[in-house]
Amino acid sequence: MRILIAEDDQVLADGLLRSLRSAGYAVDHVGSGSEADAALAAHEFDMLILDLGLPKLHGLEVLKKLRGRGSSVPVLILTAADSIEQRVKGLDFGADDYMAKPFSLQELEARVRALTRRGLGSASAIIRHGPLSFDATGRVAYINDLMIDLSARELSLLEVLLQRAGRLVSKDQLVERLCEWGEEVSNNAIEVYIHRLRKKIEQGPIRIATVRGLGYCLEKIPG
């Protein structure tokens, strides 16, 4: 799960980065509206945390341009406690939720989980596919209700595959979803992660199928 934070307060941004990364998300940060707009146009994110008072391009303009491109990525607005008018405008422009500063990091993480579930069309934190399930809140995976011992990277990889179960996911899409800017992950590394994950989850009627030259697909084995 990849998140973009658009926030010009570096102290606050650092706190958000530490909190969300420790929760298992891949997180990138920009400090201006123009940088946020460029990043959103060039990359695919699962969520945007957007401060309204950004330099160079106001947060509302970033949101307006994002929705103008047809993007439905969930957006959580961060705003000053007294800016009621901007909150209303943000929601009218297509934001999904807002938080007034100052706020609790614990509450922010809960709102992030809720919005990412909503973005996937689910009210539950549990993603299931056959005997395989993933708890996005606790960041744990199960097969037939037995916990699987997975590394943080393997959990993130499994989450992406489960979100697109039955559909092809390319290596480039996996890199885009798993990796932050400046993090070098090659296609060979993705193959290694897939190999390790296969050994841990292919214990029943489920497998990660390889479509040579195209990518991977999490699917149930007909029985």
pLDDT of 75 reads: 94
What pLDDT does 123 receive?
A: 52
CA–CA distance, 105 with 98 (Å, rounded to integer): 13
Give the fold, CATH level 3, of 126-220.
Answer: Arc Repressor Mutant, subunit A (1.10.10)
Cα–Cα distance measured from residue 17 to residue 5, given in angstroms and rounded to the nearest whole number = 8
12 closest CA partner among 44, 42, 40, 54: 54
Architecture in CATH for domain 2-119: 3-Layer(aba) Sandwich (3.40)
What is the pLDDT at residue 144? Answer: 84
Backbone angles phi, psi at 95, to 5 degrees: -70, 155
pLDDT given at position 132: 86
Q: How many Å apart are CA 213 and CA 216, to the nearest integer?
A: 9
> What is the β-pairing status of strands 206-211 and 215-220?
antiparallel
What is the reported pLDDT for 120?
58
The answer to whether 5 touches 12, Cβ cutoff 8 Å, is: no
Which uninterrupted H or E stretch holds 41? helix 33-42
Rounded mean pLDDT for each run of 10 residues along the chain, 223 residues in total: 91 92 87 95 90 92 94 89 75 89 88 76 70 82 87 86 86 79 74 89 82 87 68
The domain spans of the chain are 2-119, 126-220
How much is the pLDDT for 77?
A: 92
Spatial separation of the C-alpha atoms in residues 142 and 55, rounded to whole Å: 45
Burial of 170 (0-12, 13-18, 19+ CB in 10 A): middle
